[in-house]
Structure 1
């Protein structure tokens, strides 16, 4: 049995580490932190550029936000920092509003991270993490697949050495890529393709090596030795001295905040679903529970800390979290070690990164993101449920069509999946029942069964009875009362009715009165307590209680059979 968590430990989750920090656990944390740092440094540089920030901002995002996410999260193996999907969403949301890389762009991009953090923090503090479950797994998977394609597409200019600034418009980027493909910068293309092949090869044949770090170091050295920059190759260039500072972020005007809010909500939702995916996988492997509301608080505070450090929005990285777990991380100390290692590396290696080719960063992104493209998940969703498949397909297409405003794609999928959910609620399954040979009452049409009594009809209603389907209930009762000649009682098998609202209650009252007008009786069996409680509060229970308390069909039919039979002719 798990020991109760004190209020202080709940408020400050990192206090729980004190009981877990054995010597072996600390060794595992240090080993994991250093291993993750080797991957986080080059990835941070790459993902910052994907988000439209200067490369060194990615190092800032791997420092304070990583520490805050570890201190206040519930899953100690999660690694917080820059990630591809959050970077892409940030760029897609801000690029239509400001020139990428400009001061205005940075202010707005930092602001959207702040808003997303406040949304996550608010949901966590109010214990409303369930809101994020509104986005179904097929819709999320479809969005990731479409976003992966767009991210890969966005890296082609750097891989080809295509001249010109990055355009927020997809059509303009397509033209730029087309011209770049016709006349690529061969040294850049060779460097990018070589790096990509090396990453794939190392992952396959030497998975224990930090492949990203090895490739970045080797390509940077090769670039410096061959005069890659002098031959027209694009490199990161001089990085400014490491001077991360804490300050309140610049808050845009109110009109701009309203403009950013929908995109900030999508960013909060998508980045947390990415976090939840990692946390669930880790929890399954370790057997340790995680708390979605506490993780919302941790990730929200991490985004707010990132905004105060004037850097890009962050999230939990699936790949780096898995690496944390694989290297034996036991507590959040691993993330503290990783952040410290990033700080030391940034101070010591900043001048050596001058010759790092942008094509290599593009290869790092392509290698990481291409693995997110899994069309089989969309086919699987369609095979399992056509509604889920339709929502997933629509999300995938809408994300591509709305690009670069890809947040509209996931909003489209969200609205469609909710609309389909309401549509399904409007059409609950209704069946007339007969006695099956196994002793249960089942769908008489499907199994070719007779009615259980010549003057009594049993109707099953599967679903909550509320305003969406109240008319459906009334139609079903009217159908049941004419299902065979001289029906005297309609028995509703109500085990599937797990809730009822005012409109549903009014439908029950109307049908009871309508049947009485025709000399018929409405009866119920299998009603749940929560439904009976609502009926009692309204007072309608008094009129149906004599024939509404049966627990199952057999009991009800035995009790109602004498009432259903017509009186004998004298």
Structure 2
């Protein structure tokens, strides 16, 4: 019970070797996190130093109460962009009201995630299917990258309800680019690209930031009209209750739900991928609690919504992190930066932060994953493509794009389950029953219809099942038995039980007996709890298709010389199930 309340106790006792590994990993992650967090804060529409606030406490809390030993929590690109798109209708970017709403949004996100975790409802994130997330991530990465173009070229970018028009306005201003700003941005991209190719284990982001900041100071970049981070308040963020703005609270709840689910999907995917390498166990509900507490505590220290970062988690793992203490050390380095090192960031060009964002999100673009989803299942591929297009079309309101994709994925799933596969079967050479559509030459018996139903029998598809059985009987009027191979039936609800009851009686009136084989325990329990078991009859329910066929042929008084459909010698079944 104590370890459930304080899951970080699993790290203890801490060995000197683990502490050294975690210290090195924590410092390495911090060197990437500090410039990234400032860049992502600007992406969220906040002053850059709010990224440092979000990088300080949430990561520590999420590691202490999460289940992953290597997950690095803090500002991330997609959540930052979702934050900006959620708040733009209510306040001007960067304004005091905008900042207050971003902090309130972090509280709402944290409360929702914590509630899901405490109620053990981590499975709710499955409503955002992987293909939907893939489509959304690709679109969001393109939007994020394009949204930084104006900072690279040093031109203005309008903010309107049409992201496409805003980008076209930026492109129209390219001839008026501020050349020193463009040079800074391209230099930073060049350095990071070179470091990634030649020295991938070294934080290229840090090298780019240090080099361009020094260059900016020496050349007087700010005096030349270049945009820099400017003065950052020294000291830790103040501790204060988020301001509850009741006028927009209701409108923010839907955005908080979307950010919670998208952020957690990203975090849990990363955590599971790393756990596969480290052989650790990941508890999604505990991870929800950690992420939720991180956002809640962060909102009291001026943080906007955070989540697990793919790039920094990979850095953490590759740097040798053993436990969540690495995240604690990362937070301590951020704290030291806030207390003593903020003056060094004054001359950091905004174009460099834009370059950091662009290099980070380019790695999120993966059109091969969309193609893979299409090859795996056309419905999943459709959901992925529609999500991608909808997210681009609704930009900057990204939450609408992912909601369209999520709803479409659910509708397509329901459509599939409403019309599951119903196969008419023939007898294969090895005695098993196979689909006649695949093997049309298999022997059959005009007195027996064998059907396999690949799906649960519930309210949405039970009528389809009934129609399929009645249609098969109408096509084979000489049939005396209908054998339903029920190995694929995983569930039977009240609607399914009612329709089956009527179907049994209707077929009996027509002189046709309905026989079942391979029914699972949960289906049989529903039948026993109702009168369906007695209506079907114990002698018409069998454990295997072979037992069912033997019983049918015993009833028909047919021996193995009279037909090829059932080559096994008929036997009287001892016990049906």
SS in 1 for 2:434: strand
- Which of 95, 101, 104 is 1:102 aligned to? 95
Q: Distance in 2 between matches of 1:367 and 1:405?
A: 23
Does the Cα contact within 8 Å between 2:486 and 2:519 map onto a contact in 1? yes
Counterpart residue number, 2:341: 349
**1:32–1:334: 8 Å Cα contact kept in structure 2?**
yes
Q: Identify which of 456, 461, 466 aligns with 2:458.
A: 466
1:77-476 equivalent positions in 2, closer than 5 A = 77-163=70-156, 169-171=162-164, 173-253=166-246, 255-450=247-442, 452-476=444-468
Alpha-carbon distance, 1:241 to partner = 2.2
Distance in 1 (CA, whole Å) between partners of 2:162 and 2:226 is: 24
* 1:162-216 per-position Cα deviation (integer Å, ceiling 9, x unaligned): 0367556525522441233121011101110111111101111122322111110
Contact 1:444–1:451, Cα closer than 8 Å, also in 2:
no
* Pairwise CA RMSD: 1.5
Deviation at 1:545, TM superposition (A): 2.8
TM-score by length of 1: 0.95
Residue aligned with 2:424, SS: strand
**Which residue is 1:18 aligned to?**
12
In 1: Cα distance, 2:525 partner to 2:441 partner: 34
- CA offset at residue 400 of structure 1? 0.3
Bigger mean CA offset, 236-245 vs 140-149? 236-245
Change (3 A) 1:232 1:179: farther
Give secondary structure in 1 for the equivalent of 2:541. coil
Please say if residues 433 and 451 of structure 1, whose CA atoms lie closer than 8 Å, have aligned partners that are also in contact. Answer: no
Question: What is the deviation of 1:467?
Answer: 0.4
Shift of 1:557: 1.3
Q: What's the counterpart of residue 4 of structure 1? A: none
Instruction: Give, in whole Å, the separation in 2 of the partners of 1:178 and 1:453.
Output: 72
Per-residue displacement from partner, 1:309-345 (whole Å, max 9, x unpaired)? Answer: 1221111111111111111111111111111111112
Paired position in structure 1 for 2:506: 514
Deviations 1:269-306 (A, max 9, x none): 11001101210111011001110000000000001111
Query: For 1:407-430, what per-residue CA distance to the aligned partner results, in whole angstroms no more than 9, with x for missing partners?
Result: 111110100000000000011111
8 Å CA contact 1:456, 1:564 repeated in 2 = no
SS of structure 2 residue aligned to 1:447: coil
**Normalising by the residue count of structure 2, what TM-score does the alignment of the two structures yield?**
0.94
Q: 1:453 Cα shift?
A: 2.9
Return the alpha-carbon distance in structure 2 between the equivalents of residues 231 and 402 of structure 1: 37
Verify the 8 A CA contact 1:481 1:489 in the aligned structure 2: no
User: Any gaps of 5 or more consecutive residues in structure 1?
Assistant: 1-6
Question: Structure 1 residues 462 and 175, CA, compared in 2 at 3 Å: closer, same or farther?
Answer: closer
Over 3 Å counting, the alpha-carbon distance change for 1:561 and 1:483 in structure 2 is farther
